[in-house]
């Protein structure tokens, strides 16, 4: 077990932390005092801090590149001077990674500092102007480049949810004035959500602030009393709420540490991410915020469904991804649960390979990622996403409020670097035409087949494509798709798959499952009734089959082992 795994959430400890800050100051008498790296270290040695920080130049995270590069270079020079000034002191000394919101600068800073003999490393220059999404992205980027055997410290962050997200991205330590700052505004973090004590609804509530908390504030004072103190501006109310908020943070950190040591942090993270987003003891509002204008990128635009979820529409075709059902609900039902992914991950065996054909907004892929994080298991998982147009993913990544499934570092890194790894999970992006890359991909165990319909992505639904897919299935493979059309099912049968009925989702009464060989377990394979309907259908032949080849295709369907008993009983006719 690495140091970082054991020390996640160390802020609950009792270390005295001194932080160096760049610049000059003017005391009351007007004289100028220059704080150098040497002076900063000397003062920290004098006060006996457990952890000393190098002097750094912290600039707004949104600064221009030239400013960020200059501040980073200065921080590096000061880091070397701080190390020399340390002398023989046994106090821990941390370097501070800078680089604003520039990925290459952040990497350069992390790589430079990790070559120096620091006892730990801080991620600085965040929570100073960037968006929440950017902060999480750059926290993950830097944490991945810092040594696992030394603590990682995120400076100036933050809310309980911010801390949870940072731990999820590999951070161990935090500092922030926020628990006391929000207490002055009447805000309390509780086990039933974030409460705003300034609201009149608490005026007559005699119950404790947080029924699950045993701090002095919750043991001795009611919500009504705390609301009164805030209303009259009594500073005693600020103190009471600060006591409680600090107790809440310490309890959260204890739970995080326990979950990590027990190996259950992934499930804990999923539960707490939802719980910490609740406000004023209510469920998260069903309605999502509405953008001022329709967000668009390339051929895609965002749409808000009347039922509350957001979807992506392809402007050129008018097709909508997940037009009726909530995207993640459909992805879990149609792909993750039908494929028994959680069960497969618990089995002994070689690496499980999933082809995600049609990455789109990454809904199906993220459903698989979430399943792996929750279920864990014995098997490694390799998830390969095929996509030629990444604009739909780019469109949703900056809009977590509408598309919560991408509130995770994985899709950001996938888009930027082409892959993402964590533990036994490897997610790869194969960009380009699926038909041009499928032969070089490793044989799949599961296929999530989710391109646009045959009207838009016609080539991907043709017999010749399914034949090539079937040829890549060297072992036993299951394919899942939302389409239940007669032509698609006929194409799968013609390619040699065994074909069955999948679960219904949204407006569809059923979907389709295909097997590279007979499933050998209970499956709703297409039967005599389907074969009779196929024989009468006007769409019995997949697109692209010329009239001269239709008779032979029909014979191949009738000769399919799946229908052998039916055809034999009917005298060779469907």
More confident: 278 or 91: 91
pLDDT interval class at 569 (50, 70, 90) = very low
Cβ atoms within 10 Å, residue 409: 22
Q: Which helix (H) or strand (E) holds 216?
A: helix 216-220
| Alpha-carbon span 324 to 428, nearest angstrom | 29
**β-strands 92-97, 120-123: how paired?**
parallel
At 221 the three-state DSSP class reads coil
Tell me: pLDDT of 287 over 80.
no
The half-sphere exposure of 63 on its side-chain side, counting CA atoms within 13 A, is 21
At 515 the three-state DSSP class reads strand
| Alpha-carbon span 530 to 337, nearest angstrom | 25
Mean pLDDT of the chain: 86
Q: What is the DSSP letter of 55?
A: -
Find the largest Cα–Cα distance for the chain.
Answer: 108
Q: Which helix (H) or strand (E) holds 425?
A: strand 425-431
pLDDT of residue 26: 54
Looking at the structure, give the CATH architecture of the domain made up of residues 3-176: Alpha-Beta Barrel (3.20)
User: What are 34-71's pLDDT values in tens digits?
Assistant: 889 999 999 999 999 999 999 999 888 878 889 999 99
pLDDT of residue 507: 62
User: What secondary structure, in 3-state letters, does 373-385 show?
Assistant: HHHCCCCCEEEEE
**What CATH number belongs to 300-569?**
3.40.50.150
Residue 516 pairs in a beta bridge with: none
User: What are 435-487's pLDDT values in tens digits?
Assistant: 999 999 999 999 999 999 888 888 999 999 999 999 999 889 999 999 999 99
| Alpha-carbon span 335 to 516, nearest angstrom | 17
| Alpha-carbon span 297 to 176, nearest angstrom | 37
At 529 the three-state DSSP class reads helix
Q: What is the value of pTM for the model shown?
A: 0.55
Instruction: Please check whether residue 59 is in contact with residue 125, taking contact to mean a CB–CB distance below 8 angstroms.
Output: yes
Which sequence spans correspond to the domains of the chain? Answer: 3-176, 180-283, 300-569
pLDDT of residue 283: 40
User: What are 97-148's pLDDT values in tens digits?
Assistant: 999 988 899 999 999 999 999 999 999 988 877 777 788 888 989 999 999 9
At 530 the three-state DSSP class reads helix
* Best CA proximity match to 101, nearest among 119, 81, 73, 128: 128
Instruction: Please check whether residue 562 is in contact with residue 534, taking contact to mean a CB–CB distance below 8 angstroms.
Output: no
What percent of the chain stands above pLDDT 70?
Answer: 89
> Residue for token digits 């992506």?
312
Tokens found for residue 303? 């749409």
pLDDT of residue 11: 34
Average pLDDT over residues 368-395: 91
Q: What is the DSSP letter of 36?
A: -
Tell me: pLDDT of 516 over 50.
yes
Q: Cα–Cα distances in Å, from 487 out to 244, 444, 534? A: 63, 24, 9
* Best CA proximity match to 420, nearest among 144, 160, 220: 144
Residue 480, preceding bond cis, omega within 30 degrees?
no
80: burial class by Cβ within 10 Å (0-12, 13-18, 19+)? middle
349: burial class by Cβ within 10 Å (0-12, 13-18, 19+)? exposed
């Amino acid at each position: 077990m690495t140091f970082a795994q054991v020390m996640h959430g160390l802020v609950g400890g009792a270390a005295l932390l001194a932080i160096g800050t760049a610049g000059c100051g003017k005391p009351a008498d007007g004289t100028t005092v220059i704080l150098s790296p040497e002076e900063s270290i000397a003062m920290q040695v004098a006060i006996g801090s457990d952890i000393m920080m190098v002097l750094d130049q912290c600039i707004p995270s949104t600064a221009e590149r030239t400013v960020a590069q200059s501040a980073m270079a200065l921080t590096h020079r000061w880091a070397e001077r701080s190390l020399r000034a340390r002398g023989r002191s046994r106090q821990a000394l941390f370097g501070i990674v800078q680089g604003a919101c520039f990925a290459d600068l952040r990497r350069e800073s992390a790589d430079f500092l990790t070559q120096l003999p620091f006892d730990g490393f801080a991620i600085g220059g965040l929570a100073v102007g960037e968006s929440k999404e950017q902060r999480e992205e750059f926290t993950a980027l830097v944490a991945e480049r810092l040594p696992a055997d030394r603590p990682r410290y995120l400076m100036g962050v933050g809310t309980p949810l911010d801390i949870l997200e940072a731990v999820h991205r590999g951070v161990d330590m935090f500092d922030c004035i926020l628990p006391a700052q929000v207490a002055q505004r009447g805000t309390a973090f509780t086990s039933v959500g974030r409460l705003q004590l300034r609201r009149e609804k608490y005026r007559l509530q005699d119950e404790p602030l947080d029924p699950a908390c045993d701090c002095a504030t919750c043991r001795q004072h009611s919500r009504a009393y705390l609301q009164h103190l805030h209303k009259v501006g009594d500073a005693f109310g600020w103190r009471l709420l600060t006591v409680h908020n600090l107790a809440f943070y310490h309890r959260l950190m204890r739970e995080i540490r326990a979950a990590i040591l027990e190996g259950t942090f992934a499930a804990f993270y999923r539960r707490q991410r939802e719980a910490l987003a609740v406000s004023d003891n209510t469920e998260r509002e069903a309605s999502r915020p509405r953008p001022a204008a329709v967000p668009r990128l390339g051929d895609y635009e965002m749409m808000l469904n009347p039922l509350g979820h957001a979807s992506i529409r392809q402007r050129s075709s008018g097709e909508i991804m997940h037009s009726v059902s909530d995207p993640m609900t459909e992805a879990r039902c149609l792909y993750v649960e039908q494929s028994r992914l959680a069960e497969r991950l618990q089995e002994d065996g070689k690496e499980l390979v999933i082809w995600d054909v049609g990455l789109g907004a990454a809904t199906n892929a993220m459903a698989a990622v979430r399943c792996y994080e929750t279920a864990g298991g014995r098997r490694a998982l390799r998830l390969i996403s095929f996509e030629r147009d990444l604009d739909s993913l780019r469109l949703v990544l900056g809009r977590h409020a509408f598309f919560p499934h991408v509130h995770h570092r994985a899709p950001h890194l996938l888009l930027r670097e082409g892959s993402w790894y964590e533990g036994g999970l490897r997610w790869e992006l194969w960009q380009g035409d699926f038909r041009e890359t499928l032969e070089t991909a490793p044989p799949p165990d599961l296929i999530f087949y989710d391109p646009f319909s045959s009207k838009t992505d016609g080539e991907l639904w043709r017999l010749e494509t399914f034949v090539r897919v079937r040829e890549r299935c060297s072992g036993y493979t299951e394919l899942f798709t939302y389409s239940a059309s007669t032509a698609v099912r006929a194409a799968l049968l013609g390619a040699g798959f065994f074909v069955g009925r999948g679960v219904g989702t949204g407006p569809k009464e059923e979907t389709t499952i295909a097997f590279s060989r007979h499933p050998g377990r209970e499956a709703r394979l297409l039967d005599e009734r389907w074969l009779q309907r196929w024989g009468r259908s006007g769409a019995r032949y997949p697109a692209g089959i010329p009239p001269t080849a239709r008779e032979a295709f029909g014979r191949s369907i009738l000769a399919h082992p799946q229908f052998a008993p039916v055809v034999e009983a009917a005298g060779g006719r469907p």
